[in-house]
Amino acid sequence: MTIRTNALAAAALIGLAAPAFAQTTENPMVGGAAMYADKTIVENAVNSADHETLVAAVKQAGLVETLSGEGPFTVFAPTDDAFDMISDDSLGQLMMDENKAQLARILTCHVVATSAMSSAIAGMIADDGGVHPVPTVGGCTLQARMDGDRIALTDEQGRTAHVTIADVMQSNGVIHVIDRVLLPAM
């Protein structure tokens, strides 16, 4: 299946639609950089000092064109500190050319094929009794729940990431900054 086909399937499964309202507040700063709603996910991410590893991984995996595309996308964007939780050896292995497909799968397990604001995600969590399945373009299903006032995402290995900065609007979707790298079932 192509990323585009997975993206369409994920959009249908998650039951999200792009918000029908325009954002009226300014985007939060991310990694010391202004995030501009008229720039793409990639154009903004390259300016964040907190996402240098993510940007390098997106480039290595060959996903720049995809994430610069029309979208809409929701990207759960792990920080450099999140990538630091992975051993240098493991991360180095993932960044090798021969592991490009595995890296792409991990990264696309952070991407949903729609633009989902945190309020919509929280609403779906509430509607589903506290846990909402979130299918990703990488074929993974994350489990979203509320942890206090923060959205928590549990991956297929039982690891949990929290949204630390929500609702960073982009021209082709939205970014939610997270504090852990999410992994597919291996």
pLDDT tens, residue by residue, 134-162: 999 999 999 999 999 999 999 999 999 99
Residue 114 Cα distances to 10, 30, 52, 135, angstroms = 8, 21, 24, 11
Residues present in the chain in total: 186
Q: Between the CA of residue 124 and those of 22, 29, 45, 156, what are the distances in Å?
A: 20, 26, 27, 19
Q: Report pTM.
A: 0.86
Confidence of residue 95 (pLDDT cuts 50, 70, 90): very high
pLDDT of residue 25: 59
d(CA 109, CA 81): 18
Architecture of domain 3-15+28-116+163-178: Roll (2.30)
User: How confident is the model over 24-33, as a mean pLDDT?
Assistant: 80
At 160, list the tokens.
């949990």
Q: How far apart are CA 16 and CA 70, in angstroms?
A: 17
